[in-house]
């Protein structure tokens, strides 16, 4: 963190990740979770690395969209049950849930679009990770669910809250209380998955490249309007939208976007 409170990407230059890979190509950041022998299950070390990678993406001025995927046959198959087995008191359990929620919240709060490329199992903490993204692309063979109750637990990384806000209380209640897995087709019908593709990562990267051709400031403000407006009344949401539109219209990107329209050319956004 720099003196002015912003993230300093140079602080991460020598950072070596053990269980994930981070890279940036043409304004699209990518995080690949690499723990395939455990189906990319989230333990404390992986959560810490994921938090650092999210911070790295946020502080990287080149990043205008972020794609998250998993290596092997899983996106993320859940939290690591071996790590949870040693928790024996409620305080420690609460702290474990809050630690996971902090990571998901930091992902959800990123000021640019995020996409989950669901290449296989997205269960428990894995689905909660996908839910913290703005968009979800899945292979037709992907399996999604929150199976915690089948192990005597409940979702702890935001699943009970984000899922119902996304697909409605009735459908979320079905999935949470039964703990059943659903296929990608059903998830797509529910609105849980936005797009289906045989190669989820390639489709997610293509979508991200489409997004980053838009004004980066506008993308961030539009995302903020959607998120902040989701939990307020319509009049309050319209006030939020008007305030953020007022910010957008003063940017150099807005001037460039309007000028490019009249000049019949592609816009060249600077992010200013």
Residue whose C-alpha is closest to residue 253's, from 220, 225, 208: 220
**How far apart are the C-alpha atoms of 173 and 178, rounded to whole Å?**
8
List for the chain the helix, strand, coil content (%; round to 5): 50, 15, 35
Torsions phi, psi of 30, nearest 5? -140, 130
In the block, tokens 């409170």 appear at 5
Q: In what order do the strands lie in the sheet with 195-196?
A: 20-25, 28-33, 65-70, 114-118, 135-138, 195-196
Going by the DSSP 8-state scheme, the letter that residue 79 receives in this structure is B
What is the rounded end-to-end Cα distance, in angstroms, of the chain? Answer: 22
Residues belonging to the active site: 128, 148
**How far apart are the C-alpha atoms of 233 and 261, rounded to whole Å?**
34
179 φ/ψ sector (left φ>0, alpha ψ -120 to 50, else beta): left
Secondary structure of 12-52 as H, E, C letters: HCCCCCCCEEEEEECCEEEEEECCHHHCCCECHHHHHHHHH
Q: How many residues in total does the chain contain?
A: 272
């Amino acid at each position: 963190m720099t003196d002015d409170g912003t993230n300093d990407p140079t602080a991460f230059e020598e950072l070596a990740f053990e269980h994930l890979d981070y890279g940036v190509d043409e304004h699209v950041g990518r995080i690949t979770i690499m723990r395939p022998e455990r189906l990319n299950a989230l333990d404390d070390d992986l959560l810490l690395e994921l938090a650092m990678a999210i911070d790295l993406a946020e502080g990287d001025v080149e990043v205008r969209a972020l794609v998250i995927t998993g290596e092997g046959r899983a996106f993320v198959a859940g939290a690591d049950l071996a790590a949870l087995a040693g928790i024996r008191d409620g305080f420690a359990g609460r702290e474990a849930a809050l630690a996971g929620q902090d990571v998901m919240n930091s992902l959800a709060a990123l000021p640019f679009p995020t996409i989950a490329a669901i290449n296989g199992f997205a269960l428990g903490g894995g689905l909660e990770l996908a839910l913290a993204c703005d968009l979800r692309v899945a292979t037709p063979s992907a399996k999604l669910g929150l199976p915690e109750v089948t192990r005597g637990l409940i979702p702890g990384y935001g699943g009970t809250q984000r899922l119902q806000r996304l697909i409605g209380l009735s459908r979320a209640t079905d999935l949470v209380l039964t703990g059943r897995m659903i296929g990608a087709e059903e998830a797509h019908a529910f609105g849980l998955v936005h797009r289906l593709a045989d190669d989820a990562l390639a489709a997610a990267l293509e979508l991200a490249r489409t997004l980053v051709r838009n004004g980066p400031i506008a993308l961030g403000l539009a995302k903020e309007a959607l998120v902040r407006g989701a939990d307020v009344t319509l009049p309050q949401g319209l006030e939020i939208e008007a305030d953020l539109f007022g910010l957008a219209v003063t940017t150099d990107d807005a001037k460039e976007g309007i000028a490019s329209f009249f000049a019949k050319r592609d816009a060249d956004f600077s992010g200013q």
